[in-house]
Amino acid sequence: MYNGGFLGRGRVRRIVELAGYDITLGLPAPDGMVGVWGNSPTAHRGETVAVRRDANLVRVEDAFLRSVLPGRAGSPPIGLLIDHKGVHFDPTTPSDLEEILATNPLDDTAILNTARGAMARMQEAHLTKYTGFDPELPVPDPGYVLVIDQTRGDASVTACGADRNRFLEMLFVAQDEHPGARILIKTHPETIQGFREGYFDPEDCNDRISLMSDPVSPWALMEGAVAVYTVSSGLGFEAIIAGHKPRVFGQPFYAGWGLTVDEFPVQRRQRVLTRAQLFAGAMILYPKWYDPHRDCLCALTTAMEALGAETRAWRADHKGWVASGMRLWKRKPLQKFFGRHTPVQFQDNADRARAMNRPWMVWAGQADTRHEGAIRVEDGFLRSRGLGAELVPPLSLVTDDLGIYYDPSSPSCLEHLIRARRTLRSDQTQRVERLIGALTGGGLSKYNMVGDPPDLPAGRHVLVVGQVQDDASIRLGAGSISTNRALLEAVRKARPNDILIYKPHPDVEAGLRPGDLEVNDLANAVARHVNIAALLAQVDEVWTMTSLTGFEALLRGVHVVTTGAPFYAGWGLTEDLGDVPPRRRENIPLNGLVHATLIDYPRYFDPVTGTACPVEVVVERLRDGPLPRPGPANRMLSKLQGLLASRAHLWR
């Protein structure tokens, strides 16, 4: 190689190496390979050496999904295009991508189904080449013609002989073909961030034509457009995915396959493809995708979820948070979760926090009337290997701007997400089924405590789940049965002939919270210090007030009876004896509940890479490690808390 980026850009080098290439300096052997970066200004070095040494030329470019921010802002790519024939945006020579699109059967049902699911996922998560924008920013009212700008001198523009005059011609044709329509020129992200100029200037605008330089979602723009015009932008490809037939004034890879209106056709491209076939070739078969959490090459869907998790974190966090009600021991984990892009500022005075003009969060259990307008934060449902009361840092947290999942008195974001998952696409169903299999097969739960269940007497086994009786979910959601003893009495009355197993809460067992209970007169067995997942495999039924164990039992096909109103009650999956809010009484399939609860609602943190990650990565970390542990100071504080368990409200 003769481009410094192959050495200086660690992610690029790593992907190329994982793809099987040995990157070296010096001269290539005959029939060796010379790598260059696309048609970059430095590519001529490698091209010259390749000709003189009779070596094969390999061109490397960013994949069509790249990163949160442009490479010039320091974001590494999530994938690369490694091409031995040409470069995808240069029509003068067929590329590996063009050969795939022209000759591959593209008729594999599994690949095409993956393509359809991935296209929908890109739109749902607002994923594009650079994802650093706010999907909530408003776009103009529908009915406009979308004209896409690019950066001056971009290789994909010059490769097809285009210049500013071509862009002006495109703008003229857009006006001529849509008389009276509004024309919206979408500015390139690198132009918005000041890295490179575009082809259009403010003087090109008039009362019909305006520049859109706000960092809005391209998918939202596509939805409101009546037509799309481009020279060679990747947004033209995304316009096809969104259902448009863009008017193309260059010769990009997606032109010539019957999905565009081409001003300058590439004559050798005569095949007609479907959207799914074009997507399969360009996004599944052609690129090398990278998994930053496992440091390996991966499938498109894995790379998409990694980019999606990072994007979700950036969109929520880049403006910076102010946080209230956060105990000192929680602040370091919160900084890792929410402060990677802009540090979190901690301020317990509500008026001062509100005046800081930042997104504002408060620990849900500390929220009161002073915190109106603050986003609630709470531990997620796959939390850690070890107890929060022992100050083990979490691997998942939830944020909620409506309420919080354990308080049924008002709606929560989780409720809305559950309703939205009443029906799932086939790719979503498959993902949920794999996730459930990984959780149940790995014996995973919220805290993942160790310990084998006791030998149980013969009979029908009913697990009665104890809780911390001053816990917020009990205070807010338990209803008329609000103590562990009252729950046991209700179960014994309803199931007089069954074997009752009482499982105390792990915080109580550890002596960190009050509530230990003598239950020998009601329970046939007490399961202390056991792995709840292993215990669930041995029972026929679970009774609970509001415990997450009820949700974990549903994953394992165990019948669940609730006496309160936990988040998973009211959807037709549990036998509900408590006062479930009327707004929640509808049927949702288990897969939809799981998707909303474990994929959509929480945010996850990978302790290995220190970055946001999808749920599957946390499942692997919980199963195989490594995992974070509390430091010496936190361990000492945890022991002190154990001595003062009756005053647990001081640190909760």
Fold assignment, 418-624: Rossmann fold (3.40.50)
Taking only the tens place, the pLDDT of each residue in 109-165 is 999 999 999 999 999 999 999 999 999 999 999 999 999 999 999 999 999 999 999
pLDDT of residue 641: 47
pTM for the model stands at 0.93
Q: Which helix (H) or strand (E) holds 541?
A: strand 541-544
Taking only the tens place, the pLDDT of each residue in 602-640 is 999 999 999 999 999 999 999 998 786 655 554 454 444
Taking only the tens place, the pLDDT of each residue in 387-440 is 776 788 999 999 999 999 999 999 999 999 999 999 999 999 999 999 999 999
pLDDT band, very low/low/confident/very high, at 651 (cuts 50, 70, 90): very low
pLDDT of residue 632: 56
Fold assignment, 127-271: Rossmann fold (3.40.50)
Is the pLDDT at 176 greater than 50, yes or no?
Answer: yes
Mean pLDDT of 549-564: 98
418-624 has the same fold as 127-271? yes
The least confident of 370-379, 450-459, 562-571 is: 450-459
Mean pLDDT of 540-559: 98
Mean pLDDT of 308-320: 97
Q: Which residue has the higher pLDDT, 517 or 216?
A: 216
Q: How far is CA 179 from the centre of its chain?
A: 42
Q: What are the φ/ψ torsions at residue 417 (nearest 5 degrees)?
A: -65, -40
pLDDT of residue 267: 95
Taking only the tens place, the pLDDT of each residue in 520-537 is 889 999 999 899 999 999
Q: What tokens were used for 129?
A: 């080449």
Taking only the tens place, the pLDDT of each residue in 42-92 is 899 999 999 999 999 999 999 999 999 998 888 999 999 999 999 999 999
Nearest residue to 377 via CA among 368, 365, 386, 387? 365
pLDDT of residue 617: 98
Task: Name residue 575's beta-bridge partners.
Answer: 561
pLDDT of residue 640: 47
Taking only the tens place, the pLDDT of each residue in 567-599 is 999 999 999 999 999 999 899 999 999 999 999
Taking only the tens place, the pLDDT of each residue in 273-291 is 999 999 999 999 999 999 9
- H helices of 67-194, in order, are 96-103, 109-124, 155-158, 164-177, 189-192
Q: Which residues contact 176 (CB under 8 A, 6 or more apart)?
A: none
d(CA 492, CA 522): 7
List the domain boundaries for the chain. 127-271, 418-624
d(CA 280, CA 297): 17
The percent of residues above 90 in pLDDT, for the chain, comes to 83
